Amino acid sequence: MKLQIHQISLAYDDAGHGTPVLFIHGYPLNRHIWQPQLEGLSGIARIIAPDLRGHGESQATSGEYSMELLADDCAALLDSLSITQKVILCGLSMGGYVTFAFLRKYASRLGGLILTATRAAADSEAAKANRNNVLVQAQTEGAEKIVEDMLPKMFSPQTLSTNPALVDKVRRIMQSTSLDGIQGDLMGMKNRPDSTPLLSQINIPTLLVFGAEDQIIPVDEAQAMHSSIAGSRLEIIASAGHLLNLEQPQKFNIILDRFLRENF
């Protein structure tokens, strides 16, 4: 499905009924990473999953995609769908950074949070320098090398050796991201603010779900967020990496199912 928001065409999936849960993908991915959740959870909630601008079938714009801009797109999507009730946001990695931006600006629209494979802190100086290198690489060599360098880091060693079909599916998803999208994300992530001060103010049900073998955002980050968010629940999935929802879809769905049933 597609909608026109902020002068761009935004693609999204929308399935099921009940409490709306907005699933926000990471970099450089698209809404298709949520296919197991669309299939497994739309019986208990309304699952909405957009392609962020510049990703999948959504239109790209040039320039920086600040996390606030991407959060504004998500809020506009909810408006276009006439969703006025409180929503749960489930953000993976960069999607988690967008979730924090949404929380900063639209806290009153939120009923709960699911933070997965993400971190609250801003980029370190070393991470910013690395983003700059990748930006140069994107300009000089195109997206292909970036995708190939990043792909093995997305999974646990077990997934890499036993699930080549999944690795290939994610490669195709990543390859479909526009160069504008990749560059816009890199600039936006590099410049995002520190969300750590927000954590102690969170007073809605919050679930943290991480892969035990995440090479991009290690579980230490989860422990730190868990200890700062009062009443939060932390679940760590074994044999899963950064894309835990695809690597261990059943375990991931069981955890979300329980969180949704118990809180909403």
| Interacting residues toward ligand MLT by CB under 6 A | 26-27, 93-94, 189, 216
Q: How far apart are CA 140 and CA 161, in angstroms?
A: 31
When CB distances to ligand MLT are compared, the closest residue is 26
- Residue closer to ligand MLT (CB basis): 209 or 260: 209
Q: How far apart are CA 155 and CA 240, in angstroms?
A: 7
**Minimum distance between the CB of residue 56 and ligand MLT, rounded to whole angstroms?**
14
Q: How far apart are CA 6 and CA 197, in angstroms?
A: 30
Q: Phi, psi at residue 46, to the nearest 5°?
A: -90, 115
Query: What tokens appear for 131 in the block?
Result: 């983003």
- Residue closer to ligand MLT (CB basis): 27 or 100: 27
- Distance from first CA to last CA of the chain, Å, rounded? 26
- Residue closer to ligand MLT (CB basis): 81 or 219: 219
**Minimum distance between the CB of residue 49 and ligand MLT, rounded to whole angstroms?**
15
Name residues whose C-beta falls within 8 Å of residue 232's C-beta, 6 or more positions apart in sequence: 202, 206, 207, 208, 225, 226
- Residue closer to ligand MLT (CB basis): 13 or 221: 221
**Minimum distance between the CB of residue 52 and ligand MLT, rounded to whole angstroms?**
10
**Minimum distance between the CB of residue 25 and ligand MLT, rounded to whole angstroms?**
8
